[in-house]
Amino acid sequence: MESGGVSSGSRRRTGRPLSFDRDAALEQAMLTFWRHGYESTSIVDLTTVMGITAPSLYTAFGDKKRLFLEAARRYAGDPEAMARASDNASTAYDAAHKLLTAAATAYTGDTTPKGCLLASATASGSAASADVQRAIADIRQRTAAQLRARIERDISAGVLPPWTDAAALAGTVMAVIQGMSVLARDGTARAALLAIVEHTLQAWPTRSRAMTEPL
């Protein structure tokens, strides 16, 4: 019963090998969840785009819920990579700027669905998928917590004024990110989203905002 090493490295050593590319199938599943959401995507939809049959899907990914969570993890990327990117930014402003522009760009890709998978997939949801919604909310709140920590670091370092409301600042960035997903779904173009990003960042506090004269 110890056989099921889920993670990478250990492949099965015997038995018939998979006849399809597991990664490619997962990618297609992710795109479909991205486009239609979690509950509105049926198993038939998935097997069609993945090019496999239902039993193959179940043996390879468990069930619909686990497949979605794996697709969501693939979409959100490595959480540690996000943390590193946030830490490596020279200031919290830079981190927020990168986060916002990356979102605006990702939500308006030519070859990908509009909007954010995490925002689109679970905004609605029956009681049966409450755990899926919670998992997605966790990913969001992890991002928010990292940004907030980065802001507080800047406050301590004197880069941001001491009266800065770190929660409100991080919250605003998160709200704009999530909101841009809705706008992108409604058809708003990338340039318009980027203009929103620039406008939002104009509210970023500066040590000199109320003291010296910018520009």
Binding status of residue 37 toward its own copies by CB under 8 A: yes
Which residue in 67, 155, 160, 183 binds its own copies (CB under 8 A)?
183
Residue 84 binds to DNA (criterion: CB under 7 A): no
DSSP the chain: ------SSS----SSPPPSS-HHHHHHHHHHHHHHH-STT--HHHHHHHHTS-HHHHHHHH-SHHHHHHHHHHHHH--HHHHHHHHHHSSSHHHHHHHHHHHHHHHTT-SSS-SS-HHHHHSSS--GGGHHHHHHHHHHHHHHHHHHHHHHHHHHHTTSS-TT--HHHHHHHHHHHHHHHHHHHHTT--HHHHHHHHHHHHTT---TTTTTS---
Residue 179 binding result from DNA, its own copies, none, given CB thresholds of 5 to 8 Å by partner type: its own copies
Q: Is 12 in the site for DNA (CB under 7 A)?
A: yes
Residue 21, contacted partner among DNA, its own copies, none, CB below 5-8 A by kind: none
Q: Is 170 in the site for DNA (CB under 7 A)?
A: no
What x-and-dash track marks residues 46-65 binding DNA by CB under 7 A? Answer: ------xxxxx-xxx--xxx
> Which of its own copies, DNA, none does 18 bind, CB closer than 5 to 8 A by kind?
DNA
By the rule CB under 8 A, 124 interacts with its own copies: yes
Q: Does 206 bind DNA (CB under 7 A)?
A: no
